[in-house]
Each structure stands twice: as structure tokens, then as C-alpha cells.
């Protein structure tokens, strides 16, 4: 199997709690918190592990919270390439209202990075990148990391001939439009991010496919994936466009659905599957993740069960 390295510059300890109702101006009696290591790349590595695969997680860690993340990853049996973060690793909180099922997510910014921290991280990642493997950059960037970090990363790992998968958002995503170097082999974004980048709504699957293929033509990536929520996912290359339907499941929690998609998609490609077949695995991974509570991710058994309910069609 092709080796996989995930990158998480802004990890977190994810706390998940529930309360009968979530209302202001009163004390809320909550359940005991569930604790998981979090952040885009770490969630991808966790999901890959649950699907029976292996990856190495490059993760920036600092302080006592960082020590806790390292301990949780070790307990999960995930290979770790730790990097000293310039400050305390952040925490995040997901609070679920048991009456309505609504979730409230509180996400903190993480430590401030300086230019020296960024350059040191790029050098360490270049050494850790697997020759001819897959490097997954996923999740938010901490304060101080420049918007062109993905392009700089692509340059630094180019000697390894590794494929770069990007799942990014915000300014870093918008920067790809103007970057001279177009770094990604695969670029993924969710529905809201895609519509913000497009400057228009994308109501139909063909609208998503058109925009994804437009980004490919502009050179942002060899393949672009647009998530369409409960509808499914669209993938476009220069050669074709495909849609994978999401399985019809009861949604318990949407936390980690995108990371589970990336994990199942990446693992399928690492095992030699085609892009359309990897898209189907990704759709099943995301569908499986939303059936789990709190910050739990997809499971191998549920992905196998849902695969037949995630057909792929050409657009």
C-alpha cells in the first residue's frame, strides 16, 4: 500500500458534552466529557486506522494539551511525527442539545506562529514525506502561518514525488486562485466553501461539476472534489466528472464527516482503487461518520455496509 503522511499544524483536544437543553443565562448540567485528539489531519489518520489502514501523523504539539494529544494518539496506535509548536495546543468544544439534537461548536485559534516556525515545519515535513506516497494537508492553519503555505509545501516535497491532497478553507483556499504554483494533486472543499469561492450558488450536481472542472482547467489541482452535503460528492478531472451519492442514513452528528471522506478516499487510492471508486469509498466514509455520536468517526464495518448505497455515476 502507498504510504500516507497526514499534516496537522493546528491540532486540538476535542471535548464533547451533552445537556438536556442549551440555553443562555443558566447553569447547564452536562454529561461527562468525551475526549478525542482532533484537527483535520489527525482525524484523517484516526479514520484511516479505523478502516484498517496505516498512516503517519505529522502534528505540531505544545504544552500540557499537546502532551494529552500525544498520549491519546499513542493509545489509538497511530504513528506520530511530533513537531514542537510555538505555544499551547488548543482545545475545542462540541455541545449537543439533547432535546433538539442541535450542536454548538466552539473552536479556538491555536498558538501564534512566526516565520521561523513555518520554515522549520516545512523542513521537517520535507524529511517526513514518503517517497512516492501521499501527503494530506487538512484542517485550519494556526495564526501566523501564511496563506501560501500549501504552495510552499508542494515545492518542498516535490523531490519525493509524493501526491499532495489538500482539504483547506478560508484565505488559504482563496490564495490558490492567485498562486503561481498550483500545488495540489487533489483539492477538496465543502459546499459553502465552493459557493463562496465561485461567487455564486451551485444548486445542481452539474453546477458543482462545472465549477470543479473549471478549477481543474485553471490548474488548481489535477482532481477537484466538491461536497454537496446530504446529496453526495462531485469529482472532476480534465478527463471526466463523477457523482457519488451519499447513503440515506439518520444523521446523529456531522462532526468529522469531511475528514472521514478524506480518509476513506485517500486509503482507497493508496490501495490502488480508481478515482471514481475512491470517490464511492469517500462518500461511504462520510455517510458512516454522520451515524456516530460526538467526535466519533467512520468505522470499517459501517463503510462496508454503506458502500452499495453510494453508487457513482458519470455527469
* Residues that are catalytic: 259
Q: Is the dihedral of CA 221, 227, 231, 233 positive or negative?
A: positive
Determine the distance from the C-alpha atom of residue 298 to the mean position of all C-alpha atoms in its chain, rounded to a whole number.
13
| Torsions phi, psi for 10 (to 5 deg) | -130, 65
CA–chain centroid gap for 273, Å, is: 20
Nearest-angstrom CA–CA distance, 170 and 148: 12
Count the helix, strand and coil residues of the chain and give each as a percent rounded to the nearest 5: 40, 25, 35
User: Where are the extended beta strands (E) located within 2-114?
Assistant: 4-8, 12-19, 34-38, 56-61, 79-84, 90-97, 103-107
C-beta separation of 8 from 140 below 8 A: no
DSSP output for 25-52: SS---BPPPEEEEESHHHHHHHHHHHTT
SS3 state of residue 253:
coil
For residues 39 and 233, give the distance between their C-alpha atoms in angstroms, rounded to a whole number.
22
Amino acid at each position: 500500500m502507498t504510504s500516507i503522511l497526514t499534516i496537522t499544524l493546528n491540532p486540538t483536544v476535542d471535548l464533547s458534552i451533552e445537556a438536556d437543553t442549551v440555553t443562555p443565562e443558566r447553569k447547564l448540567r452536562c454529561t461527562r466529557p468525551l475526549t478525542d485528539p482532533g484537527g483535520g489531519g489527525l482525524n484523517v489518520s484516526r479514520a484511516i486506522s479505523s478502516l484498517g489502514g496505516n498512516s503517519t501523523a505529522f502534528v505540531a504539539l505544545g504544552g500540557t494539551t499537546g502532551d494529552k494529544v500525544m498520549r491519546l494518539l499513542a493509545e489509538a496506535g497511530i504513528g506520530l511525527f511530533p513537531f514542537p509548536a510555538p505555544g499551547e495546543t488548543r482545545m475545542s468544544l462540541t455541545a449537543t442539545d439533547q432535546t433538539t439534537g442541535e450542536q454548538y461548536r466552539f473552536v479556538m485559534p491555536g498558538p501564534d506562529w512566526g516565520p521561523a516556525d513555518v520554515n522549520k515545519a516545512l523542513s521537517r515535513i520535507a524529511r517526513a514525506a514518503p517517497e512516492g506516497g501521499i501527503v494530506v494537508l487538512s484542517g485550519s492553519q494556526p495564526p501566523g502561518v501564511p496563506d501560501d503555505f500549501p504552495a510552499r509545501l508542494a515545492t518542498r516535497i516535490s523531490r519525493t514525488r509524493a501526491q499532495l491532497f489538500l482539504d483547506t478553507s478560508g484565505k488559504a483556499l482563496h490564495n490558490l486562485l492567485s498562486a503561481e504554483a498550483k500545488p495540489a494533486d487533489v483539492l477538496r472543499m465543502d459546499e459553502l466553501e465552493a459557493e463562496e469561492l465561485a461567487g455564486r450558488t451551485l444548486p445542481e450536481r452539474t453546477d458543482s461539476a462545472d465549477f470543479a472542472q473549471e478549477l481543474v482547467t485553471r490548474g488548481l489541482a489535477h482532481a477537484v472534489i466538491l461536497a454537496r452535503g446530504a446529496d453526495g460528492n462531485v469529482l472532476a478531472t480534465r478527463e471526466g466528472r463523477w457523482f457519488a451519492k451519499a447513503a440515506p442514513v439518520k444523521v446523529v452528528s456531522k462532526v468529522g464527516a469531511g475528514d472521514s471522506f478524506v480518509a476513506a478516499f485517500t486509503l482507497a487510492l493508496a490501495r490502488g482503487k480508481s478515482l471514481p471508486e475512491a470517490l464511492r469509498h469517500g462518500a461511504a466514509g462520510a455517510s458512516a461518520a454522520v451515524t456516530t455520536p460526538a467526535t466519533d468517526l467512520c468505522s470499517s464495518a459501517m463503510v462496508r455496509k454503506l458502500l452499495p448505497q453510494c453508487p457513482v455515476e458519470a455527469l
